[in-house]
């Protein structure tokens, strides 16, 4: 990528402010009481962690976790393999380029809010194959399968990726248990949704950008799944939109930590107790940046709606039900062509009072 083409330039109101100060107060939660203890060995410490997570989900929609149980070496192996892949010639990377028939793989022309992102990406499903609807049309009951396109080089890529996925999904499911407990639900309340998971791994590579004040690595957006577990490198660039005042706040990289954010499905399940918060990624004029995000997603046949336990006459459902599989399929297919059906946005599902 060279000089900034006009397709990358953000409208003035959405351009980054490069002088924004990193936020020190995004909650940092130590999971060691959960990871190193059995469920009954230290109930006081576990209760405190659950309380901290509930507060972070409610006030920020984001948190960082340390002592999370994912081996440092697992993360390092994938990081090394990914950096080797993105250094390959473009024609080599494009051997695993995604398209309408192969929706997983490499891509370098992605748009967010109709503006091109300054990045290259690799997409993989966690469970291979992943069963999904064949089309986003409500009356079409046919399903299809998504498979990964594994790069030939570097040769250790697939093994490193699968090992990472296994460890981070395990962490994500543990976090879902803690979030359930923070909502006064049984720890296993969400388990059933993920038996046929459609979780995916998104690897973002942000090359140095000559005009970081005009472009974004990833434009403002909310994540569509249930929960995102993100590893960012020490360059930093993730910003979240603070709920209290709408200001963009930089998330400070912490060695070996994961950034966790509530996504749209959890906002609906919690009936607005927890919010899916807008975020974006800045670019750097001198340094490349890498982030690896695992989106924990339920089975394609999940009908997403507020949980009955969290609704009553005083707190009725705030969202209409929607099909997760149809939503996901539409989002993927619109990367390649325009469909004559509108995608679902979470705000459009809100039931007006």
In a domain, 340, yes or no: yes
CA 50 to chain CA mean position, Å: 21
Q: Are 223 and 295 in contact (CB under 8 A)?
A: yes
Decide if 118 is inside a domain: yes
CB 200 within 8 A of CB 124: yes
Which domain range does residue 99 map to?
6-349
CATH code of the domain in which 28 resides: 2.60.120.330
> Does residue 203 form part of some domain?
yes
Cβ neighbours of 314 (radius 10 Å): 5
Inter-CA distances, 45 with 32, 64, 158, Å = 9, 18, 37
Q: Measure the CA–CA gap between 132 and 325, rounded to whole angstroms.
A: 6
Residue 183 lies in a domain: yes
Q: How many domains does the chain have?
A: 1
pLDDT reported for residue 25: 74
Return the structure tokens found at 304.
Answer: 């997403």
Query: Quick check: is 1 in a domain?
Result: no
| pLDDT for 329 | 92
Q: Per the domain annotation, does 256 fall within a domain?
A: yes
10 Å Cβ neighbour count for 84?
15
pLDDT the model gives residue 98 = 94
30 part of a folded domain: yes
Positive or negative torsion for Cα 60, 62, 65, 69: positive
Nearest Cα to Cα of residue 61 among 219, 302, 328, 259: 259
pLDDT, position 114:
81
Distance from C-alpha of 191 to C-alpha of 195, rounded to nearest angstrom: 7
Q: pLDDT tens track of the chain, all 353 residues?
A: 457 888 898 998 888 887 665 656 789 999 999 987 555 568 899 999 999 999 999 999 999 999 999 999 999 999 999 999 999 999 999 999 999 889 999 999 888 888 899 999 999 999 999 999 999 999 999 999 999 999 999 999 999 999 999 999 999 999 999 999 999 999 999 999 999 999 999 999 999 999 999 999 999 999 999 999 999 999 999 999 999 989 899 999 999 999 999 999 999 999 999 999 999 999 999 999 999 999 999 999 999 999 999 999 999 999 999 999 999 998 887 766 555 555 567 777 888 76
CB 247 within 8 A of CB 173: no
Q: Are 233 and 270 in contact (CB under 8 A)?
A: no
Rg (CA), the chain: 20
In a domain, 332, yes or no: yes
Q: Cα dist. 6→15, 25, 81, 116, 123 in Å?
A: 13, 36, 32, 9, 26
């Amino acid at each position: 990528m060279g000089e900034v083409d006009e397709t990358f330039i953000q409208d003035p109101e959405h351009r980054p402010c490069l002088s924004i100060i990193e936020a020190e107060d995004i909650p940092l939660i130590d999971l060691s009481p959960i990871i190193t203890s059995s469920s009954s060995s230290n109930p006081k410490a576990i209760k405190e962690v659950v309380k901290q997570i509930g507060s972070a989900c409610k006030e920020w929609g984001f948190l960082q976790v340390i002592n999370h149980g994912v081996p440092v070496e697992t993360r390092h192996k994938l990081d090394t393999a990914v950096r080797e892949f993105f250094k390959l010639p473009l024609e080599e990377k494009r051997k695993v380029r995604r398209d309408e028939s192969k929706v997983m793989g490499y891509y370098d022309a992605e748009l967010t809010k109709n503006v091109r992102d300054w990045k290259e990406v690799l997409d993989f499903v966690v469970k291979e194959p992943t069963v999904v609807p064949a089309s986003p049309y409500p009356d079409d009951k046919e399903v299809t399968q998504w498979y990964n396109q594994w790069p030939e080089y570097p040769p250790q890529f697939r093994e490193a990726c699968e090992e990472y996925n296994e460890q981070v999904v395990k962490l994500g499911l543990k976090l879902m248990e803690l979030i359930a407990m923070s909502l006064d639900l049984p720890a296993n309340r969400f388990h059933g949704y993920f038996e046929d998971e459609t979780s995916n791994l998104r690897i973002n590579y942000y090359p140095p950008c000559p005009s970081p004040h005009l472009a974004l690595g990833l434009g403002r957006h909310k994540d569509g799944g249930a929960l995102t577990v993100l590893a960012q490198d020490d360059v930093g660039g993730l910003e979240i939109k603070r709920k209290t005042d709408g200001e963009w706040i930089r998330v400070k990289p912490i060695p070996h930590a994961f950034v966790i954010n509530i996504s749209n499905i959890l906002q609906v399940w919690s009936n607005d107790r927890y919010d899916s918060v807008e975020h974006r990624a800045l670019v750097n004029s001198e340094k490349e940046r890498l982030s690896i995000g695992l989106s924990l997603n339920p089975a394609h046949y999940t009908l997403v709606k507020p949980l009955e336990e969290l609704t009553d006459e005083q707190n009725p459902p705030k969202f209409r039900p929607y099909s997760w599989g149809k939503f996901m399929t539409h989002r993927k297919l619109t990367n390649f062509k325009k469909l004559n059906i509108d995608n679902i946005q979470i705000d459009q599902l809100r039931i007006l009072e």
